[in-house]
Structures are given as structure tokens and as C-alpha cells.
């Protein structure tokens, strides 16, 4: 029996055990979620204090801070550097949420593990920033166009809760949307020198759909064919992906830096078994980095990832053209 068959048997065995331990993926995807609507809101009686605003992720929190400026105190539940798909809430998180005037979430099951806590908040409105966006993939933040909609939604909600400062929120939102446009232009420039036919990616899981749409990149497959990197592929799915990589002559796999070791091993398996000079690129996915480091704001997060992806695509294209 050759090396590839042994690897695929191992992957199938891991998948089998995973299904017994975690249950059916279809049932999990049909679990309750935050409703993708804006709840009815009334102005908050602030009594000379700032709005207390909570956000599930550091990315949402960063954009809230841009819109709110110094008019609100922003608390982020999932710490920077943590994976939102696997984060578990603490008692301290619950206490902060219960004293919030509003909690902003992503929606579409991204915060699946936080749902029991969010549902328990009787007097705190929970607002999905992604209201109004089309698509069933929760990774909305990988599109600057989507985050521009987030920015408008956040400004609207803050203005409803704190109408006295509504003009400030709107002005901040407009200024931030201008920064988003500048960032989008810079990212487009990064990909200009890469022919469309060479803009092909394999992703660790299905997280770059909106990014690919915006910058005319084709996702030819996912190591984990799921919106969560906590799922597990079957041996058949890995074999099919390897065949697709060979057929499409793709040379870049993008995985999140916070992905588990099993996903990283599977990515290496795909790279090795494809027989191609594939580059595995670790990118930022569901979280910003620590303050003061590269990727610590949303716009820097997008630029950091775009530079790494564009560089890897260019290197693979150059190596193919040189016959290496």
C-alpha cells in the first residue's frame, strides 16, 4: 500500500471518530442563531456616562471604536489572537455583557458557542452588524464592501441609542468609509500584476469567499469544506481536493494562523500529495493582532493578508513561468 493510501485511510478514520464525538454537521448547521434583524431600540438614559458597547470579535470592536470615537466604551468578548469558532465564554464575559447597552455580533452561526449567553440577555439588545448583506457565509469581514455596510449599521444603532451624539457617529462613519475605500484601492493594486488565470487559491476552510469575489480570485477548493475550521473533512474529500489541485495547477493554500494543528497537517498533506510547488500561507482570519503590531486594525488586517496572498500567487506564477 503506498503512502498516499495510508494517509487517506488515516484521515477517514479521524473523520469517523469526529462524527461520533461531535454529532452530525447538518444538525449543527441548523441550530438556533441570532436573528439577522435590527431589534426595536429606544434611546438609553445615560446620566452623563458613555454608552457601554460590547462586540463579539476584535474586528467588530475595532470598527465600533472607529465610529464611536470617544463617545462609547467598547468591550470585546473574544480576545485578540483567539479563534471565534472555538472560543468559550467566561463568567467575566457574561458580567460585562449584562451591563452593556448593546451587543454587536456577526451572526450566521459564527458565535455559535456564545448563543446560550446571548439568548440569556433579557434587557440587552443583540444586533448583528451584518444585517442587509447577502450570502450564507459568515466571514463577511473579508470584504471591505461588506464592512462598509457594517459601518453604516453601527452608526445607525449608536445614533438610535444615543441620539444626542448622532452627528458625531455619522461623521466618524463617513470618514472611516473613506479609509476603507483607500484600503480597497491599495489591495486592488496589489493584484494588478497577477493575471486573472493565475489567481487561484485553496483555503483551509470556506472563509475567503467574499475576498475572492472582490478581487477576482477563484477558490478551487477548501481543505475543510465548511464555514468552520473546527469541522473535519472525509478521506474522499481530501482525495478529491488533491485531484482538483493537480488539474487546476493551483499553487497557494491559505490557512488561518489560529487554525488547529490537524488542519495544518491536512494542508501539508494536500501540498505534498499534489506534487506541485505549493506554498502554504498563514494569514489572519477571525481576529486582529495585539495593539501596535501588524494586523492590529481592520484595515491593516486586510492589507497584511492581501500582501501575503499576492506575494505567494506571484511567486508561484514566476516559478511556473521559469519551469522550476
Q: What is the pLDDT of residues 106-130, one digit of tens each?
A: 988 888 888 889 999 989 999 999 9
Assign domain 193-322 to its CATH superfamily.
Nitrogenase molybdenum iron protein domain (3.40.50.1980)
Residue-averaged pLDDT of the chain:
87
Q: Three-state SS for 279?
A: strand
Residue ranges covered by each domain of the chain:
33-185, 193-322
Q: Are 33-185 and 193-322 the same fold in CATH?
A: yes
Identify the CATH class of 33-185.
Answer: alpha beta
Mean pLDDT of 88-110: 91
Whether the Cβ atoms of residue 118 and residue 100 lie closer than 8 Å to each other: no
pLDDT tens-digit readout, 232-282:
788 898 999 999 999 999 999 999 987 778 888 999 999 999 887 899 999
pLDDT tens for residues 183-223?
999 999 999 999 999 999 999 988 999 999 999 999 999 99
Q: How far apart are CA 71 and CA 49, in angstroms?
A: 9
What's the pLDDT band for 51 if we cut at 50, 70, 90? very high
C-alpha cell at 77: 468578548
Q: For the whole model, what pTM was predicted?
A: 0.86
For the chain, where are the E strands, in sequence order?
Answer: 51-55, 72-76, 102-105, 126-128, 200-205, 218-224, 252-256, 279-283
% of the chain with per-residue pLDDT over 70: 88
Amino acid at each position: 500500500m503506498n503512502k498516499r493510501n495510508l494517509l487517506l485511510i488515516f484521515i477517514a478514520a479521524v473523520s469517523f471518530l469526529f462524527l461520533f464525538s461531535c454529532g452530525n454537521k447538518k444538525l449543527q448547521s441548523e441550530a438556533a442563531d441570532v436573528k439577522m434583524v435590527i431589534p426595536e431600540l429606544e434611546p438609553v438614559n445615560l446620566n452623563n456616562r458613555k454608552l457601554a458597547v460590547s462586540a463579539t470579535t476584535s474586528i467588530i470592536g475595532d470598527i465600533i471604536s472607529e465610529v464611536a470615537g470617544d463617545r462609547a466604551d467598547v468591550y470585546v468578548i473574544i480576545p485578540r489572537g483567539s479563534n471565534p469558532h472555538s472560543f468559550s465564554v467566561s463568567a467575566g464575559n457574561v458580567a460585562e455583557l449584562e451591563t452593556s447597552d448593546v451587543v454587536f455580533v456577526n451572526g450566521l452561526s459564527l458565535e455559535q458557542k456564545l448563543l446560550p449567553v446571548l439568548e440569556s440577555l433579557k434587557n440587552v439588545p443583540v444586533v448583528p452588524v451584518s444585517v442587509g448583506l447577502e450570502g450564507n457565509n459568515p466571514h463577511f469581514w473579508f470584504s471591505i464592501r461588506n464592512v462598509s455596510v457594517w459601518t453604516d449599521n453601527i452608526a445607525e444603532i449608536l445614533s438610535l441609542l444615543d441620539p444626542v451624539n448622532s452627528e458625531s457617529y455619522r461623521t466618524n462613519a463617513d470618514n472611516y468609509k473613506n479609509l476603507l475605500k483607500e484600503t480597497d484601492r491599495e489591495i486592488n493594486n496589489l493584484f494588478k500584476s497577477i493575471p486573472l488565470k493565475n489567481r487561484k487559491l485553496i483555503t483551509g476552510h470556506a472563509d475567503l469567499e467574499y475576498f475572492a469575489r472582490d478581487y477576482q480570485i477563484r477558490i478551487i477548493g477548501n481543505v475543510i469544506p465548511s464555514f468552520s475550521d473546527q469541522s473535519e473533512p472525509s478521506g474522499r474529500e481530501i482525495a478529491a481536493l488533491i485531484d482538483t489541485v493537480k488539474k487546476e495547477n493551483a499553487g497557494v493554500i491559505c490557512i488561518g494562523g489560529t487554525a488547529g494543528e490537524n488542519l495544518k497537517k491536512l494542508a501539508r498533506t494536500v501540498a505534498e500529495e499534489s506534487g506541485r510547488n505549493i506554498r502554504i500561507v498563514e494569514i489572519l482570519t477571525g481576529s486582529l493582532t495585539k495593539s501596535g503590531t501588524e494586523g492590529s486594525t481592520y484595515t491593516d488586517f486586510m492589507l497584511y493578508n492581501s500582501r501575503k496572498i499576492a506575494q505567494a500567487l506571484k511567486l508561484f506564477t514566476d516559478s511556473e513561468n521559469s519551469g522550476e
